[in-house]
C-alpha cells in the first residue's frame, strides 16, 4: 500500500470545508469524501445525542472504509471532516485546517438557523482552536497548515490548497491563529453559555 495519500480539509462547522472542497474538486480534480456524509450513507451511526443534536458515529467502520479507499486509489483522496484525528497518521499526507474569525463564524451559523446553544458550542470550539489542537496532537505540527477563510473567497482558498498539494506553493506548517488574542473578554463571554437552554 502506498502511504500518505489522504489530504484532510478540517475545521469547525461553518469554516468552509464543503464549499472549499467543492471548488477543489473542480480546480484540481481530487476525489472528495465527506466523513459525516459517508457515515450517514453507510449507516455507521451508533446513537443520536439529543442534547447536542448530533449523531454518534461508529468510527472503526468509518476508518476502515477510508483505509480501503486510500489503498485502492492511485490519486490523492481529499477527506473533509471536523474530527480529523480519527484518521490513521500513516495514510495522511497533510492537513489543511480552515479557520474563521469567531464573529464571522457566528454570522455564518446564524444564517443556517442554528440554535443559540449549537452556535455558541461551535464558536467557542473555534475560539479555543479545538479542531486545530486535536489535529496537532494526532498528526504533529509539521503536517498541519492553517488557512484563514474569514475574508477570502472559497475559490482562492481552493486555489491555494491545489497549489500546495501540487508542490507549487510552500506554506508554513503549524498552528499560529489564536482568536483569543483578537477578541475582547466580552466578545468571548458572549459564547460562554453553551450548556444553556435551546432558544
Ligand atoms: N473563504 C471562504 N471559504 C469557505 N467558505 C466561505 C468563505 N467565505 C465565505 N464562506 C461561506 O461560509 C460558509 C461555509 O459553509 P460550509 O458548509 O462550506 O462549511 P463546513 O465547514 O462544510 O460546515 P459543516 O462542518 O457544518 O459541514 C458558506 O456559506 C460559504 O459560502
Ligand atoms: Mg460541510
pLDDT less than 50: residues of the chain? 1-4, 199
> CATH topology for 6-189?
Rossmann fold (3.40.50)
Of the listed ligands, the closest to the CA of 19 is: 1
pLDDT tens digits for 95-144?
Answer: 999 999 999 999 999 999 999 999 999 999 999 999 999 999 999 999 99
Q: 80: CA distance to ligand 2 center in Å?
A: 7
DSSP structure string for 67-116: HHHHHH-SS-EEEEES-GGGS-GGGEEEEEEEE--HHHHHHHHHHTT--H
The domain ranges of the chain are 6-189
Of the listed ligands, the closest to the CA of 12 is: 1
Q: Taking the complete model, does pTM exceed 0.85, yes or no?
A: yes
Among candidate residues 68, 76, 73, 70, the one with its CA nearest the CA of residue 7: 76
Q: 130: CA distance to ligand 2 center in Å?
A: 17
Whether 96 contacts 22, CB under 8 Å: no
pLDDT at 196: 55
**Ligand 1 lining (C-beta closer than 6 Å):** 11, 13-20, 82, 108, 149, 152-154, 157
Mutate to test the pocket of ligand 1, among 14, 84, 103, 121 (most ligand atoms within 8 A of CB): 14
Whether 8 contacts 84, CB under 8 Å: yes
Of the listed ligands, the closest to the CA of 22 is: 1
What's the DSSP call for residue 44? -
pLDDT at 3: 47
Amino acid at each position: 500500500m502506498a502511504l500518505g495519500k489522504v489530504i484532510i480539509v478540517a475545521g469547525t462547522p461553518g469554516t468552509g470545508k464543503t464549499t472549499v472542497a467543492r471548488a477543489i474538486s473542480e480546480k484540481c480534480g481530487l476525489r472528495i469524501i465527506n466523513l459525516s456524509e459517508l457515515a450517514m450513507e453507510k449507516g455507521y451511526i451508533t446513537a443520536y445525542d439529543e442534547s447536542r443534536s448530533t449523531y454518534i458515529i461508529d468510527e472503526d467502520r468509518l476508518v476502515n472504509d477510508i483505509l480501503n479507499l486510500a489503498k485502492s486509489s492511485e490519486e490523492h483522496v481529499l477527506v473533509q471532516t471536523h474530527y480529523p484525528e480519527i484518521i490513521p497518521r500513516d495514510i495522511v499526507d497533510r492537513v489543511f485546517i480552515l479557520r474563521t474569525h469567531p464573529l464571522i463564524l457566528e454570522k455564518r451559523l446564524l444564517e443556517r438557523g442554528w440554535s443559540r446553544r449549537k452556535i455558541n458550542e461551535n464558536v467557542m470550539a473555534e475560539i479555543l482552536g479545538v479542531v486545530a489542537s486535536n489535529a496537532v496532537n494526532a498528526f504533529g505540527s509539521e503536517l498541519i497548515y492553517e488557512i484563514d477563510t474569514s475574508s477570502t473567497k472559497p475559490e482562492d482558498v481552493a486555489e491555494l490548497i491545489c497549489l500546495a498539494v501540487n508542490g507549487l506553493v510552500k506554506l508554513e506548517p503549524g498552528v499560529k491563529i489564536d482568536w483569543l488574542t483578537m477578541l475582547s473578554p466580552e466578545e468571548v463571554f458572549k459564547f460562554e453559555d453553551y450548556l444553556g437552554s435551546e432558544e
